[in-house]
Amino acid sequence: MINVLRSEWIKLRTVRMNWILGIIAFAFPVVITLLTAFFSGDDEGFTARTLVEVLTGTAVVAALLCGVIAAASITGEFGFGTIRPTFAAVPRRTRVVAAKAIVVVTASTVLLVLADLTGIGIGRLLAEGQGATIDFSDVPTALPALTGTVVLAGLMALAGYGLGLLTRSTPAAISILIVWPLIAEGLIGALIGLISGWHNVVQWMPFQAGIRLVFVGTDFFDGPSRVVSGLYFGGVAAALTIAGAIAVDRRDA
Amino acid sequence: MINVADLTKSFGRKIAVDQLSFEVRPGVVTGFLGPNGSGKSTTMRCMLDLDRAERGRTLFDNRRFRDLHSPLHEVGALLDAGYVHPGRSGRNHLRWLAASNGIARSRIDEVLDLVGLTAVAGARLRTYSLGMRQRLGLAGVMLGDPHTIILDEPANGLDPEGIRWIRDVLTHLAAQGRTVLVSSHQLSEIALMASDLVVIGNGRLIEQGTVNEFIDRHADRWVRVKSPALGALATTLTAGGGQVTAVDEATLDVRGLECRAVGEMAAQHGVVLHELSPQTGSLEDAFLKVTAAAQEFRSRATEVAQ
């Protein structure tokens, strides 16, 4: 299994597009946070909470990009045909599927850990340089929310990877990954709410539940808690990947 | 040794491979022939478990492919040189392949040198020609120094030097005792490098044996004679039961008579001969004759010309 992990890691880091998307995923929350700290650090209301809210809010986009990288890591294999030499080198397909999942999830979580540390560390210095007082003890949810960004990135990568396994198509997987959380879940939630009168149903939409992982506030609007939301979204992401793994094992390569 | 038994694979209602059984022995190159759409590539994919066969099995030295712990050390396969990521370099393509089976990085340099791609190893694969990709594919096959080699159309895109190179490499590998199975449409190449043949049509085995047996059994045979007295010779041979075709004013092709009989008739009638030679059709002639009924896509060029 170590050999397969090493092989998949080499694959991931030897494609330029993965680096470009990875750098964007890292830079987007960091740059927005740093710019906010630099230009608004002297505002009266700028606090540690502001810093954490900006970082966690933009980290959702970073997590989405991690999902795109993960999806493309497997759809690209089908698109370019490299899945065949891969399975000819490792005939036990579940090993390849598992190794790739581990690699993309690990890379995504590490990426968000680095982005969080950079955003918080340098953002604090910049804001304090502008005269703000940054005290994280004022924000008891800072650590859970920042941890949530890391978990969200990992789960988003897993969900994107699962969609890639199921669709085998880069445009299809990425379209679902972008359209579903940003548009479809809201529409479906509103429709169900209209029909059934259960207006909080959108909180139980998988990706919306995942995004609750990064909430900085303590008010969860009577919906599932951070942990429950995370477990729910994690279950959906895992189910997508397991369904994809079964499909890949049964179908022709 | 490769042992394929009862292999069957369908795509919807179309049976691509139909109860196919054959053996590939070590020490020689075995040509895998069949018309377009006959199921060669599907067979190779099923042998490597890439396509899921509905029935049958393939054993590599009595083991199924999926049971091989490090396949690259045992079975090297190149099904399509285009199965690469265009954004990766040639070296990085070999790196992930080698890592998957725990092959040392130093071996990558060795195989790159073997196929003559060392100078372009760092270039992205989108800049490689088809011939260079074929060479890279062969480098991948050789990474694990396997004792079984399976290649689907390895000469595609190669220049004459490359075709000769791959022929020499494969015959050399077979001479080392490896099992080599090669599909190709270039029958002249197969005739030069292969000792054994597996011929299929419509997914079924048509024939398996040596190349010589195949040609002997199916190719046309005739006798070519040259003589300054062609008219007298033609009359004699026709009277003796031969079918005579004039090639030019001094040459005849004779069918239905053995070389010895033609010589004896000429001697009996005092006809001087300048040439008397047995002729045999090519592997291509034999192949076209054998697979005529199994040709899925037949050209109508001759009809158009008429």
Contacts A15 to B, Cβ<8 Å: 85, 87-88
Of B50, B96, B101, the CB nearest to A87: B50
| pLDDT tens digit sequence for B184-193 | 887 888 888 8
* pLDDT band at residue A184 using 50, 70 and 90 as cut-offs: confident
Q: Residue A71: what pLDDT? A: 96
Best mutation target among B85, B91, B92, B149 (most A Cβ atoms within 10 Å) is B85
Strand partners, B254: B223, B244
A88 with B79: Cβ contact below 8 A: yes
**Domain locations in chain B as residue ranges:** 2-217, 221-280
Query: Which positions ≥6 away from A11 have C-beta within 8 Å?
Result: A73, A82, A100, B85, B96
B65 touches chain A (CB under 8 A): yes
A80 with B102: Cβ contact below 8 A: no
A7 with B99: Cβ contact below 8 A: yes
- Of residues B71 and B301, more confidently modeled: B71
The whole-chain average pLDDT of chain A stands at 90
A17 with B85: Cβ contact below 8 A: no
Encode A136-167: b = buried (16+ Cβ within 10 Å), e = exposed.
beebebbebbbbbbbbbbbbbbbbbbbbbbbb
B221-280 is classed CATH 3.30.70: yes
A81 with B77: Cβ contact below 8 A: no
- Going by C-alpha positions, the residue among A163, A1, A91, A76 that lies closest to residue B51 is A91
Residue A221 amino acid letter: F
| pLDDT tens digit sequence for B17-40 | 999 999 999 999 999 998 888 899
- Interval B98-118 mean pLDDT: 94
ipTM of the complex: 0.84
With a cut of 70, say whether residue B300 has pLDDT above it.
no
| pLDDT tens digit sequence for B63-94 | 999 999 899 999 999 999 999 999 999 999 99
* pLDDT band at residue A218 using 50, 70 and 90 as cut-offs: low
Contacts A14 to B, Cβ<8 Å: 88-89, 92, 95-96
B2-217 is classed CATH 3.30.2080.10: no
Q: Residue B305: what pLDDT? A: 42
pTM: 0.83
